[in-house]
Amino acid sequence: MRKEIERLVELDREVKLLAHMGAVLGWDQETYMPPMAIGERAEQIAYLEGLAHEKAVSPEIGSLLGALGSSAENPLGDPSLEPLERAYLRVLRRAYDRETKLPGELVTELARAASLGQAAWVEARAASDFARFRPSLERMVSLQRSKAACLGPGRKPYDVLLDLYEPGNDEASVGAVFSALRAELASLLDRIRGRPQVDDSVVKRPCPEGRQAAISEWLMGELAYDRGRGRLDTVAHPFTSTLGSDDVRITTRFLPEAFASGMFSTMHEAGHALYELGIAPGPGYSRTSLSEASSMAIHESQSRLWENLVGRSSAFWSSRYTRLAELAGPALEGVGLEAFLRAINKVEPSLIRVEADEVSYGLHVILRFELESALLSGSLQVAELPGAWNAKMRELLDLAPPDDARGCLQDVHWSAGLFGYFPSYALGNLYASQLWDAMLAELPGIEARIEGADTAELLAWLRSKVHASGAACLPGELVERATGSPLDPGHFTRYLRAKYAALYGL
């Protein structure tokens, strides 16, 4: 490694240390912090974000990047450098150019507003009262517009923010994918509505939180989530947080009469954690910007893969169901494997995104994509959000939310300033299905091994093809290397058609 890159690594690691410190404070706020501490916690997080920003815009970083030939026009730098070195320069150049466009005052105010906004959201959601959250959201939308104006003057705000999570994408490109996906999902949903419905009452029996916690602990072991490098806690809205290279924590929530919700939430978040813990781009690059995800859609592909393609499959449960029934106790007493599998794969539009089935889930994401774009453009005012949300729920899912908690207050993302993140969920489904098909073709008999309670080979394949490279590959490059072709939504729609044709006799 050249001395200039070694110095860049040193400077980069200082930024990452501060980011991980901030993650500790954020994780504590969402899990154990007493409510009255929010004022000072917001200041603590804002202060750390400011320090991280100061380090990220150090002129020394710019000089080192320039010395290695990296510029906005040529982010990869000198062609004589090693491929991994050039990938690192690309990632750092993107981060440096982004940070140097943002005023320090805006960075700290965004962090402060996110911390206070999340606390306001928790309170508003508990009371099912959007009015309590409205001022915080108005402030956050204004700040996000300011951020977009700094990063991409003259560009559509949503295009600028979307690119932060999905490099190279914009509203038009994502909208084109979603338009076709919406038609496919709506058509399949209509066909399913015309068939006799599946009985899912067997997964809606009361199940004490203690039993649900035991199920989650067991599933974490089945997925090889290393508890020596993480832990599980409960929150209002589940998330995964990276507090260090060997400290990736997950959260879930337990619903007394819907134990499958907590079970699949744990599998989903464990999928995120497995990705984070498997990133190993190369010697010398641990705890740097290269040790991050390729994109959030790739990240979501891993959580959705483990939650759905594995977690809702007959292969996964055939040898594990007996143990699940033991842990669930009376909740699954007298319930056979086939009845359980039908229940966890039932398709029926629901009010809550994180509870949605595989067919209607994408429609939830499209709803949020359209609304957050409208909020940022100004065509939708924050005060109009509850009505607009309810109207789109009727349009896309034929449902009418009875209150704000089950309507526009159900997701934490906007309170945290994560505008542009939602499309990653639906794109993640597309990546997951394409990766799954490639894995099946490359590893004959893998489903039989999963059926035999062995997911080690699957995890090893994902480690090699997806996890290890971290941010060294752009998402399009990663999926083409892993599968041999560019992103093709057909893998996902074919998977849904085949699965639900069998389940519903279509």
Give me the active site residues, please.
269
CA nearest to 251, candidates 239, 263, 261, 262:
239
Locate all alpha helices (DSSP H) within 101-208, ordered by sequence. Answer: 104-127, 130-151, 157-165, 171-193
Contact 393, 367 (CB under 8 A): yes
Residues in Cβ contact with 468 at an 8 Å cutoff, skipping those fewer than 6 apart: 278, 279, 280, 281
Residue 398, exposed/middle/buried by CB under 10 A (0-12, 13-18, 19+)? exposed
**Which residue matches tokens 């389940």?**
503
Both tokens assigned to 323: 């143990």
Q: Are strands 232-234 and 240-244 parallel, antiparallel or unpaired?
A: unpaired
Provide the total of helices (H) and of strands (E) in the chain, helices listed first: 21, 3
Whole-number Å distance between alpha carbons of 203 and 221: 22
Whole-number Å distance between alpha carbons of 128 and 468: 42
Amino acid occupying residue 446: I
Q: If you ran DSSP here, which 8-state letter would residue 243 be given?
A: E
Contact 470, 294 (CB under 8 A): yes
Helix (H) or strand (E) holding 45, with range, is helix 38-56
Whole-number Å distance between alpha carbons of 84 and 91: 11
Amino acid occupying residue 82: E
Whole-number Å distance between alpha carbons of 504 and 506: 6
Whole-number Å distance between alpha carbons of 283 and 306: 28
Whole-number Å distance between alpha carbons of 502 and 506: 7
Contact 232, 248 (CB under 8 A): no
Long-range Cβ pairs for the range 128-137 (8 Å, 24+): 128/403, 128/404, 128/405, 128/406, 128/409, 129/404, 130/385, 130/386, 130/404, 130/408, 130/409, 133/409, 133/415, 134/382, 134/383, 136/415, 137/382, 137/385, 137/414, 137/415
Contact 178, 166 (CB under 8 A): no
In the sheet that 232-234 helps form, which strands lie side by side, from edge to edge?
A: 232-234, 247-252, 240-244
Whole-number Å distance between alpha carbons of 416 and 42: 12
Both tokens assigned to 428: 């993640």
Whole-number Å distance between alpha carbons of 177 and 185: 12
